[in-house]
Structures are given as structure tokens and as C-alpha cells.
A and B are shown apart, each in its own frame.
Chain A
């Protein structure tokens, strides 16, 4: 499991940890029952304070991503993959709506927008 913390981004460190563990779950790199390093081990490895990792784990737990068992440690909780994917799709949909509204503001045509997406996606050479 890799977690990379940046000191130059605005997001607090505990949120970076949450985001990355969620990503690892969503991409399937971590799956149900996988064990996570202990709060204190992770704090040591990332060189951050214990409270920071504690807070990250607490939020992940309340979001249902992990379960902590006293004396045993923290594990990835069972995830409903379909549900997770649907949730992500919804986020993408919302963002796309935002983009389309922005585009309409400056009268950007559908074709121009599509072209932009293709370029950014890296498919323009095909």
C-alpha cells in the first residue's frame, strides 16, 4: 500500500490520507479484509503526528471504508462495488454538468467542448 503525502498542497494531511485510502479501495488495490498499518505505525512511516492518522482512520471508519477491531487493528470493510462505482459516476456527472454550464456561458459549442475533452484525455493523436 502506498500513501504519498504532499506538504505543498492545501489539503490537510489527514484528508490526503483519507482520499488515498479511498482511492486504493475504489481502484481495487485494497480489498475487503486487507489489513492496514496501525495508527501509530502509519504516523511513524509518514512522519506525521499520531492525531493526524487517528483522525483519518476515524473518518474512514465512519464512512464505512474500514473497520477497526480493538487489539487486532484496522481492516478494509466489505464494499459494495456497484454502489461505489455508482457514487463515483454521480460525482462525475455533477462535475460535467458544471462544465457544460460554464461552456454555455461563453457560448462554447458542443463540438469544441468534445474536442477539448479528447485532447485532455490524450486521445487526440488517434
Chain B
């Protein structure tokens, strides 16, 4: 299996925040979901990937090509959807097409009009009159009309209603019918990932905590529930973090197998959701990982 993207020890520092030695890869032909709390470094990572920010050190390869040397060529093969409207909003779709289409060698008008029709967007209205959902559809339209191999999206589903989110996911599924396509998208809405993501990459405080298969992740991690009597200094160490109440505790383990060995039938172990994993990891600091 080949990687579309490889991050190797990438560093980027700001005044109050830094991406620390980020290394991960994105597999070709699959959907990778990128999760993390607000301010964890998702947008920074995506901007580095798009070369909208300059990295301090490290190495980023896309399609096996060095980002610094082949920027133009790489961009031609990428479709990018930004989380905010980044188009001139007094223009209409028709006018924007005239500006954007010539930028890509592989721009495909048939594809463009097919999606325009499918999304039922008005071609002649200025886009400032569009609803949030329509703007997102338009951003996707312009991102995929040059038939890119790799689609990067920064929170494409945030702020959209459930009906529209389903439509976006349906479209992504349609794109993934082609095994040469790869999608990487960041999101807060972890249930969207349940429907489509093959891999999950999790960033926490500027560090990549894990990047692995979603199914595998959900079998390794577990929500553990039991009596407070079971907790002491040693056993507490086994958990990522713990939420204690008067009627018992609930905790996240990153090694279900080990927890079973320690507690046996004394505790209840449930399959976690991605949201559980995010919540508890944010609360504590991840131990016994990978």
C-alpha cells in the first residue's frame, strides 16, 4: 500500500503554539479522518500540507515528491476545500469558473457542469447570497472539477445541517469508488467518520498521538466502568483518564486486553466512540499508547 502523503519530523513554532516533530502518513485509496480538539494543530497541519505555511524543519512528501521542489505539480493533483469562504463573494459561480478553470491544466468542464447540476446551485447569482450549505457545495465543486487524485478538506461538514452532511458524505463515497482517490479531512463531528473513514489520525497539543485503522482503534480502546473500590494508585495508572462519581467510575483504556487481565469480570468494558477517545485523551495524557 502506498502513501500519498508522508510527514517526517515536521516542526513549526509560533509564539504560543508549536507543532512538535509531526510524522504520519496518509494511505492511497482510502479516507483518513483528522481529529483533535480546537487548537490542537489541525489547521496548522493542513496549511503545512498545502504549503500555505512554511515549516521550520522536517520533510513533507506528497505523491512521493518533495513538496519544496514540486509544488506546482503537486497542487495540480490536489483538490482543497477550506473551512471558510475564500472566494470573492460579489462574483457568481459563472464568473468564478472563468477565473479558476484556467489555473488547472486538467480542468474538466463536463465534470464541473455535472456536479453543478447535481448540487443544484444557481450559476448566475452572486455567492454572497448563498447559504452556508450552498457555499460549502460550491467550494467542493471548485475543488473537484479538475478531477484531483487527492482531496483535502478542512472541516467540510462543520456548521452544516444533518441532511446536507449526509449529502456531502454520499458524494465522498461516490468519489471513493475510484481506488486511485484519496481523501483527508479534518472534523469535529466524529459520527461522520463512522460512516466513511478508514483511518483516523489524532492530533493532540501539536503532537500526533496515533494514526491507525479506525476499526482497530475501536477494538484496542475501551470504556471501562466499575466501582470506585477498584481504583488505587496502581490501577489508576492503567487508564488514559478517569471520571469518578459517587456511584462509580468511568475511564478510558488504550489496551482493552491488559485491562481485562487486571480487572477480569469486576468491570464492564464497552466499545468506545471516537468522541469518548477524544474526551478522555484531552482530559488526561495518553499513556501506554501504541
Contacts and interface: CB of A to CB of B under 8 A. Distances in A.
Given A12-B215, A14-B215, A55-B215, A50 B31 contact: yes
A40 B176 contact: yes
Interface in B145-182: 169-170, 173-174, 176-179
A44 B31 CA distance: 12
A6 B271 CA distance: 16
B198 interface: yes
B196 interface: yes
B258 interface: no
A44 B215 contact: no
B198 A50 contact: yes
A47 B195 CA distance: 6
A49 B197 contact: yes
A41 interface: yes
A52 B30 CA distance: 11
B113 to A, nearest CB: 22
A15 to B, nearest CB: 11
A55 B271 CA distance: 19
Contacts of A48: 195-196
Contact of B215 (A41, A43, A52): A52
Interface of B is mostly: mixed
B263 to A, nearest CB: 20
Contacts, number: 42
A51 interface: yes
B29 interface: yes
B176 A43 contact: yes
Contact of B177 (A44, A49, A51, A52): A44
Given A44-B174, A44-B176, A49 B29 contact: no
B277 to A, nearest CB: 17
B213 interface: yes
B214 interface: yes
Nearest to A52: B215
Measured as residues with beta carbon below 8 angstroms from the partner, the interface class of chain A is 10 to 19
Measured as residues with beta carbon below 8 angstroms from the partner, the interface class of chain B is 20 to 34
Contact of B213 (A38, A40, A47, A51): A51
Interface in A34-64: 38, 40-41, 43-44, 47-52, 55
Contacts of A44: 173-174, 176-177
B179 A49 contact: no
B210 to A, nearest CB: 16
B169 A51 contact: no
A51 B29 CA distance: 10
Contact of B196 (A14, A41, A49, A55): A49
Contacts of B178: 40
B195 A50 contact: no
Interface string A14-46: 100000000000000000000000101101100
Nearest to A12: B215
B21 to A, nearest CB: 28
Interface string A56-76: 000000000000000000000
A74 to B, nearest CB: 14
B170 to A, nearest CB: 8
Interface in B195-241: 195-199, 213-215
16 contacts: A10-B271, A14-B215, A40-B176, A40-B179, A43-B176, A44-B176, A47-B169, A47-B170, A47-B196, A49-B30, A49-B31, A49-B214, A50-B30, A51-B30, A51-B215, A52-B215
Interface of A: 10, 12, 14, 38, 40-41, 43-44, 47-52, 55
Given A44-B176, A47-B173, 5 more contacts: A43-B173, A47-B169, A50-B30, A51-B215, A52-B215
Pairs of residues from A and B, 6 with the lowest C-beta to C-beta distance, nearest first: A44-B173, A51-B198, A49-B198, A40-B177, A47-B195, A50-B198
